[in-house]
Amino acid sequence: MQPVIGFAGMTHLGLVSGICAAEKGFKVIGFDPDSARTSALSRGELPVSEPQLPELLQKNRERLRFTSDAAALSSCDVVYVAPDVPTDDLGRSDLASIGDMLEAVFSATRDNAAIVVLSQVPPGFTRGKLRAGRILYYQVETLIFGRAVERALQPERYIVGCADPTAPLPAAYATFLGAHACPVLPMRFESAELAKISINMFLVASVSAANTLAELCEKVGADWSEIVPALKLDKRIGQYAYLAPGLGIAGGNLERDLATVCNLSDSYGTDTDVVRAWIANSRYRRDWVLRTLHGTVLSRLENPVIAVLGLAYKQDTHSTKNSPSIALLSSLTPFRVRVFDPVVPASAAPNPRCLAAKTELEACEGADALAIMTPWAQFAKLDPAQLAKKLRGKVVLDPNAVLNPAACRAAGLDYHTLGMKS
Amino acid sequence: MIAHRNQEPKKPERVVLLGARGFIGAAIRRQLDAQRIPTLAPASAELNLTEADAAGKLAATLNPVDVVVVLAAITPDKGRDSATLMKNLAMMHSVCMAIEKAGCAHLVYFSSDAVYNPTVSRVSEYTPASPQDLYGAMHYTREIMARGLSKVPVLVLRPTLVYGLDDTHNAYGPNRFRRAAQKDGKIALFGGGEETRDHIHVDDVAALTVRCLLHQSTGTLNVATGISHSFFEVAELVAKQFSSPVEVARTPRANPITHRHYDVTNTIKAFPDLRFIALEDGVARAHRQMTEEKS
């Protein structure tokens, strides 16, 4: 008999994980104390934007039940505790909400139910919540905003933190994990908690190296996009390495782990100078557009109008956490800006002189410069010739190279991107 | 790294300039005068900040609504020893004592990029101060003295190399090059002049300072353009201004090459419409002024 899987916390992580568990054929209880949230979900209204998620919700409605009554979790064999853990401006986690949620789950579930902490927590958290007679695990979540469904349905591996890594997993939990046909790596709690952070630190290291070298490319006349394929063919680096230059670290999760590593280092006296250098590099790269815009437009024109495409911190998400676009707009308050994002409303822009455009081209109408701040796929379809017609000026800042540089230059645009001399 | 207490610019009631007779002080005063902002600029003969009664004299002059801009210092060309250090600290001690007694609305302290380690090639306001000589240590100490004042909003400005017609320091760079070219028809470089530095025109320093006064900005800000040039490039630019040929001469290199670049992102964030005088324009301006002055 298939185990019943519970998910506590119907924010991004719990919601995507729950719907994907239903897609795997399991009966799922989605609990959240916010009844307005669960009622909306019961009506099929999603609070997050993820590719495929609406379709999977619709498809698996019979296996999904959303409730604000914790008692419903008593029927579950496995309950994931998965609320999004909020962070402050310094990336520090507020663990109060997950602590409360975990207590509620302990109270509502059977003693033989496996409770699995799925939220991102610092090393030592899960062991601190162990209690006699209860079954507790920590599982590394691998959610990527914009690719959350794909990652939940086809995980590369499961990393499971255990009180005793040599003991077999409970049958119901093992059955659920086994449905995903990927390696399961049991390890002690602290190793699993640090494994999650380690993964993110390697990603940040790659991105930081890419950004550092891409900036050098901009100065010496090299083209980072020509170098990347060479790196990906090196087995020590690999074809999936994060080598695309960008506007620094955003979204909140990586920043959280950077803060956690620094805090642990401060406590234990270990060396994390390199981690602090990554943080500084991220802060510096985030403002690439502002610096370039200042050099090309703001310091040259009176009352310039700036078009900004994209508000989300990356494509396929509604999240604006630490978004470079929001940071840019907060520095453009003296100027008129015309904004378009396919998902995020223009009201998210911290700019009193912001016009909400209905389309990309409307945003460009009469603007002196265009900044493409989020690499939404639909922006890649924009015709540089049409952009050139709509814009008053010719400056296009496209850090993520959404548009074709050669086509833009052929259209007479003054095109700037990361990793390439303009 | 700076925050504006006035989101919209607002003229201060009065600016007290300590060190207004200097190169930068005079430029600031000109721009304050142009904006009809009242200034008080006591000369060192009236107010010698190294003297024991200076704090009392200054306190008697200050009003709580005043903005105080401190440029007064004994510059390195007049001494780099510990006696100079102590005099400079005594001057700042007088200023701090006076402000503690009389109060002021805003204190702007003119520090120096000498607070940074000279071997650091890229500097921002996040770069830790690490002065390597007494002059840098003096400025950093005076910064700390300023920040230690209670209830006074403090702005610290750290200018890079400043150039302009009236510079009296004659340090290696545009000013010395211009004078050497004028006098000898020759500019002598250290080595090949490969070192890069950020040179800012004194009028830009003054303009940025006045903006900070109008916004009552607090924090720490480097005063630089964000664009560095080699001394060779600077020499060539200066030489180009003269109608008669000017030799740009290389000499055997005695010291290793060092570079200095500024990340001015924080300046752009504070004043996104700020424009700097390009080096070629600034050099041309100084040359033109020199020619006009002579004729």
Which candidate in B2, B227, B228, B269 is best for mutational testing of the A interface (most A CBs within 10 A)? B269
Helix B54-61 to helix B82-102 angle, to the nearest 10 degrees? 40
Residue A291 distance to chain B (closest CA, Å) = 6
A384 membership: H or E segment, kind and range? helix A384-390
Q: Which residues pair with A262 in a beta bridge?
A: none
pLDDT tier, B31 (very low <50, low <70, confident <90, very high otherwise): very high
Q: Tell me how far apart the alpha carbons of residues A307 and A365 are, in angstroms, rounded to a whole number.
A: 8
Pairing of strands A78-81, B261-262: unpaired
Quick one: which of B239, B223, B264, B141 has its CA closest to B189? B239
- Under 8 Å between Cβ of B18 and B71: yes
DSSP at A298: I
Q: Which domains does chain B have, with CATH numbers?
A: 2-161+200-224+260-276 (3.40.50.720)
Touching check for A289 and chain B: CB below 8 Å?
A: no
A150 membership: H or E segment, kind and range? helix A148-153
**A124 C-beta neighbours (distance < 10 Å), count:** 12
DSSP at B278: P
Q: Out of A290, A332, A335, whose CB is closest to B265?
A: A290
Residue B201 corresponds to which tokens in the numbers above? 């025109």
Give the pLDDT confidence score for residue A321 in this predicted structure. Answer: 85
- Under 8 Å between Cβ of A298 and B273: yes
The tally of CA atoms less than 13 A away on the side-chain side of residue A18 is 33
Q: Out of A280, A283, A299, whose CB is closest to B274?
A: A299
Identify the three-state secondary structure at position B93.
helix
Pairing of strands A184-188, A158-162: parallel
* Residue type at position A154: Q
Chain A partners of B269 at a C-beta cutoff of 8 Å?
A: 287, 290, 331
Q: What is the pLDDT of residues B131-155, one digit of tens each?
A: 999 999 999 999 999 999 988 999 9
Q: What is the CA radius of gyration of chain A?
A: 23
Q: Is B192 exposed, middle or buried (0-12, 13-18, 19+ CB in 10 A)?
A: middle
Q: Tell me how far apart the alpha carbons of residues A296 and A276 are, in angstroms, rounded to a whole number.
A: 31
Count Cβ neighbours within 10 Å for each residue of A327-337 and write b for 16 or more, e otherwise. Answer: bbbebbeebbb
Q: What is the pLDDT of residues B211-257, one digit of tens each?
A: 999 999 999 999 999 999 999 999 999 999 999 999 999 999 988 99
Q: Which domains does chain A have, with CATH numbers?
A: 4-189 (3.40.50.720), 197-285 (1.10.1040.10), 287-416 (3.40.50.720)
Could you read off the pLDDT tens digit of each residue along chain A, which spans 422 residues? 789 999 999 999 999 999 999 999 999 999 999 999 999 999 999 998 899 999 999 999 999 999 999 999 999 999 999 998 888 877 788 899 899 999 999 999 999 999 999 998 999 999 999 999 999 999 999 788 888 999 999 999 999 999 999 999 999 999 999 999 999 999 999 999 999 999 999 999 999 999 999 999 999 999 999 999 999 999 999 999 999 999 988 877 888 899 999 999 999 999 999 999 999 999 999 999 999 999 999 999 999 999 999 999 988 888 898 899 999 999 999 999 999 999 999 999 998 889 999 999 999 999 999 999 999 999 999 999 999 999 999 999 999 999 999 999 999 999 999 999 88
B52 contact partners, CB below 8 Å, separation of at least 6: none
Residue A199 corresponds to which tokens in the numbers above? 């993964």
Q: What is the pTM of this model?
A: 0.85
